[in-house]
Every structure is written in structure tokens, then in C-alpha cells.
Amino acid sequence: MEQFIIPRVIVHVDMDYFYAAIEEREDPSLRGKAVVVCMYSNRGESSGAVSTSNYLARETGIRSAMPCKIARSKNPDAVFLPVRKQLYEQVSEKVMTILRSNADNEEGFEKVSIDEAFIEITESCKNDYDIAKDMGIRIKEEIKANENITCSVGIAPNKLIAKMASSFQKPDGITVVRPNDVKDFLKPMPVKKLWGIGKVTEEKLYEIGIRTVSELASCDVMELISSFGKSKGMWLKNAANGEDPTPLKGRKGADQIGRMASLEHDSRNESMIFLLLNELIGDVIVKAEARKVYFRSMTVTVIFSDFKTSTKSRTLSHAVCDRNILMETAKEIMNKFLEESAMNFRRIGIRVEDLQESTGQKNIFDF
């Protein structure tokens, strides 16, 4: 019996040489130079390891995790800088806000690391890969407009292929792999390019005569199970055929609930804006009630027609789960946005945070 796979559209966004790109942004004189960001040890700049480097540095053989001493010997003229983790985390949070705002819902966002994430846009693009590509381009533009750094984007029917696609045209690229193109996309690749295959697995596959993804896909599954065990063997067979049912690891029980959506067209029309805001608030309240939680703070996000993103937050005097209070406060914030900017609105969002478990009906004495 053939397994029925629900069609999905998954986007993987991977920032380009993230730490070094931020350093170039902060100091434009670094552009055109080999830049290496190092995690130094307590012994000073003569020790430690490379955290990341830009592409000019990589062309000279410098790689992540390489000892800084070796990196300096490969390119003495490169600019070596210490890691500024707090700065990178601040930029990452802004990038992740943009990505989260483009996901179908809160469960459709999965942060993988400080500089990469998956989002699901199946509903937003109506499972149409042409629309999905337009969304991917828009995401790249939003990040560039807001943070002045670039990213590479992969769009595919599952996480495995989306992850591999984002690396296909680095830097600043976008690769779309439609469901019918998955096998052709994988066919010519060496097995080491298959996401999830490490050095040990690669060498073991070589031992049994498998060097390409195509050869792995056509290999008898029982032979793979014999060599790798049932779980790993089945995974290798499925992955080589481009199959990956893995769901996004949305933040189950996360400390926030949010919704975001686009206006029918870029506009400052208050009726249109508040109608959509009311709809988003309704969805958030339904989710909060389903999780039996109250919220203490809230954030309204606006993405303008030039892709600039702005947020305003408000902390309430006590935790509530009340649609009227949320709507009243959100309207006040939205009116501030309308007063402060003449730009048309493109997307708006509402998020509640500082969640607290409900322990029963709250009354005035609880506050």
C-alpha cells in the first residue's frame, strides 16, 4: 500500500557567512577583504578556532573550526576579528522575526541555529511553487532591506530537500525544487551531499560500492539494513529518493503565540488594516484558550511596502486571556504606527508573550 504524503512547501533560509557578513556591515572598509571571525581562547589571539569566514577567506583554504594559527598561515593578510556573540544574536533575532512572520503559523517555524531556519508556507502559497518562489524572493528582500545582509533560500516539498537546495546557489541565491524534480535534483550528487550523511557513513557506503545518491536510491533496501541496521538503512533509502516526512519542530508549548498575514494589497486603509488585525487577534485568542494560557505582554509587527519591519510591544498590568483587552491595546499600537509613518502597510502581525498556565477562572481578587 503506497504511503500518502500530504503536499507541503518548506523553505530553508541560510544566512551567508553570517558573522563575517555582520562585521562587513558594521565596518564597510572590510568589504573586498578576506575576513575571518575567530573564537579566541584565554591564551589570546595565537590560539582559538575559526568561527566563520567570508568567501574571499574561504578561497584561500580557511575553514570553520580550523585553528586560528593555521588560518593565519594560510592568509596572513586576512582581517582576523573576535566573535561578538551578543551582536550576532541581536541580528539573528531580527532575522528570525522576519522568517517567523512569513510562516503559515507559529508551528510552521523551526529555528535550526543562530543563522538558519525552516518555515512552512504551504497555506500561504496555496501549494503553488511559483507563488512560493515569489515569497522566497520577498523574504530575501525583507532581510536585505532590514539588516543589510544576504541569505540563500531553498524551497522544496520537505526539509531534507529544502536544506540541500539552500546550499545549491550560495551566496545570495534561491533554488526551487518542485516535487516532480526532486529525483533529478538528487541524482547526480555524491552521497556526502545528502543532508545527514557524515564521514563515517560516507566511507561505509563507499565500501559497499555506493558513491552517488542515484546509486544509493537504487540499492536494495535489505542490503542497506544489513549494513546499517533497520532504522538507518530505511532512512538512507528514503532520503536518497527524496522522501522526508519529518515535521517542523515548531515550538510546542512555546512562550509565545502569534499570527501574521498580508493585506490584500499594500495600503494605509484603516478599515482594511483593523479588519485583518481583528481576524489575527481572534486566531491568537483561540490558540491561547486551547492551550489554557494567559499572556502578560503583546507585540504588534508591521512590514511596510519597502519591506522595512517595525515592532512595538506593550506589557499589561496582569496576565489575561481577553480578546477585548488585546484588541484595544493592539489598536492603540496600530494607530501609533499610522501616525508615525506615511508608508503603506504590506503585512501586519500580533504576538502574545510571557505566557502563564491557566489555573481556573480568574477574578478581580486574583489581581
Please identify every residue annotated as catalytic: 116
CA distance 137 to 84: 29
Alpha helices by DSSP H, the chain:
18-26, 55-58, 68-74, 85-102, 129-147, 159-166, 182-186, 199-207, 213-218, 221-228, 230-240, 270-291, 323-340
Residues 6+ apart with CB under 8 A from 243: 5, 158, 160
Any idea which residue has 503585512 for its cell?
A: 347
One-letter identity of residue 84: R
Closest alpha carbon to 10 in 140, 115, 153, 148: 153
Strands 79-82 and 35-41, by their bridges, are parallel
CA distance 134 to 30: 32
Cα torsion angle, 90, 93, 98, 101, sign: negative
Contact in structure between 104 and 123 (CB atoms under 8 Å): yes
Chain centroid offset of residue 306 CA: 21
Contact in structure between 328 and 237 (CB atoms under 8 Å): no
- Listing DSSP states for 222-276 in one string gives HHHHHHH-HHHHHHHHHHHTT---PPP---TT-SEEEEEEEEEEEE--HHHHHHH
Contact in structure between 19 and 30 (CB atoms under 8 Å): no
Contact in structure between 111 and 67 (CB atoms under 8 Å): no
CA distance 289 to 320: 11
For residue 60, the 8-state DSSP code is T
Phi, psi dihedral angles at 302 (to 5 degrees):
-125, 130
Strands 151-156 and 109-113, by their bridges, are unpaired
Residues 6+ apart with CB under 8 A from 289: 321
C-alpha cell at position 180: 516532480
